A and B are shown apart, each in its own frame.
Chain A
């Protein structure tokens, strides 16, 4: 029996680590990885509640989240590759042509 509060706390901690990663790092790929961490923290919360409420809907939703995350990673990486071809850098603060 794993108490639900432990699971939610773990999900919150991993989500916060993901948020910090997005805010702190400059490398676009590491930012993307932190976004994946956040998505996984949300998945953990879904599965935790699915197990607590004795319903499988949470697990089905995790299935959909994984699919959407896969699609998002593919497109995001393609964009980053294209951006690298144009700007020769993946650091997000060096891509500031549109800055005012």
Chain B
């Protein structure tokens, strides 16, 4: 039952990721990415990480992708036009590199001789230490004890990011003496 659900979500994830990369219209790519995030959230729920699953929808699908959509709509982007031999050559190289990466990954995962484990990494365990106490409580306990320093640093990171975004996106503003002169001229 679990395996069936997992295969379903995994197939959805792979198909939507492919559509993100292949589709010409950036808005459609963004919407497929939202669907990919939601299927990933489903996989997290299957792996008993329900807090992460919900936070994935709230943060990724609900905030980050909305930001993407805002920017795409604000810039009024149309279909991507991709013609020309140079672009086709570069695209071919890109797919080749992707296929190579996948091959390397499959080999490393599969063959025991190259350090892999023969596709038999064993089942993911059903019991987690914090499952009885509730996933959220245990993650909270970890966050505030062992990972307290990264937690606080992350909050500073977010503050820096916020300030940086406001400064970058504001664009050029007139200097204060210029604008006051113009205001007194107009008044």
Contacts and interface: CB of A to CB of B under 8 A. Distances in A.
B165 A75 contact: yes
Contact of A51 (B33, B47, B117): B47
Contact of B17 (A8, A17, A51): A17
B14 A44 contact: no
**Interface band, chain A:** 35 or more
A97 interface: no
Main secondary structure of the interface of B (DSSP, over half): helix
A99 B20 CA distance: 29
Given A37-B36, A40-B60, A8 B121 contact: yes
B125 to A, nearest CB: 5
Contacts of B33: 33, 36-37
B161 A75 contact: yes
Contact of B3 (A2, A26, A44, A70): A2
B59 A70 contact: yes
A6 B6 contact: yes
A37 B180 CA distance: 48
Contacts of B90: 23-24
Interface of A: 1-10, 12-21, 23-27, 29-30, 32-34, 36-37, 40, 43-44, 47-48, 50-57, 59-60, 62-64, 66-75, 77-82, 84-85, 90-91, 93
